[in-house]
Amino acid sequence: MKPRRRAGLPGPRIIGLTGSIGMGKSTAAVILRSWRLPVHDSDATVHRLLGKGGAAVALVGKAFPGSIKDGAVDRRTLGAAVFGKPEELRRLEAILHPLVRDSERRFLKRHIRSEAVVLDIPLLFETKAERRCDEVWVVSAPPAIQKQRVLRRPTMTPEKFQAILRQQTPDELKRRLGDRVIPTGLGKAVTIRALAAALRSGQNHRHA
């Protein structure tokens, strides 16, 4: 395991969980939750922020006129406004990222006495969130399996898939930057064993 990024700081062991689109990160998070590990889901947080009554609705509506429908952000309209437009995407991220960080801080405060917690962050390396983690687990699968999974999604096209990949840190680089690689293309049993081994390894390191 690489040196702890938060060495000496109090609180639980913070595990960053990340992976590119279609790599099986959601499945890994479900398994970790089943083991009673607290998981902060950044994607789910964004959905709440953009939903009816969400803290980001008014801000997004002001920045992207016409994106609000029935008191919530219409994700399809918003997606069309930012997809393939780096400047517009940065404007949106400037609204959402601080709100997600606030949610994350509240999560960590609630679970301050836990042995370990998980920050599920798709764009972990892209947003430098590894600096807030003790270790990073990268969920990965072969490119062919990744493509097959993603193209099964409604409204997904090969062109859109490639555009999303261009916005993300390549899987090969993520695997090099991470402390653990969690395979998801060899069956669920293999994934479970890899997660269990990563969890045990960190526990041993923490108490050494």
In a domain, residue 177? The reply is yes
pLDDT class for 4, splitting at 50, 70, 90?
very low
Give a yes or no: residue 146 inside a domain.
yes
pLDDT at residue 72 tops 70: yes
In a domain, 4, yes or no: no
Query: pLDDT of 145-160, one tens digit each?
Result: 999 999 999 989 999 8
Q: Verify that 127 and 153 share a domain, yes or no.
A: yes
Task: Please count the structural domains in the chain.
Answer: 2
Q: Are residues 27 and 122 in the same domain?
A: yes
Residues 149 and 130 both lie in one domain? yes
Strands 68-69 and 72-73: antiparallel
Name the band, by pLDDT with cuts 50, 70 and 90, for residue 1. Answer: very low
Q: Please report which confidence band the pLDDT of residue 8 belongs to, taking 50, 70 and 90 as the band edges.
A: low
Q: Provide the pLDDT for residue 166.
A: 85
How large a percentage of the chain has pLDDT more than 90?
79
Host domain of residue 174: 13-38+117-208
- Based on the fold, state whether residues 182 and 137 are members of the same structural domain: yes
pLDDT band at 79 (very low <50, low <70, confident <90, very high): confident
CA gap 109, 19 in Å, rounded: 25
**Do 98 and 200 sit in the same domain of this protein?**
no
Residue 186 inside a domain? The answer is yes
206 and 121 within one domain? yes
At residue 208, does pLDDT exceed 60?
A: no
Q: Where are the beta strands (DSSP E) in the chain?
A: 13-18, 39-41, 68-69, 72-73, 116-120, 135-140, 180-183
pLDDT at 39 over 50: yes
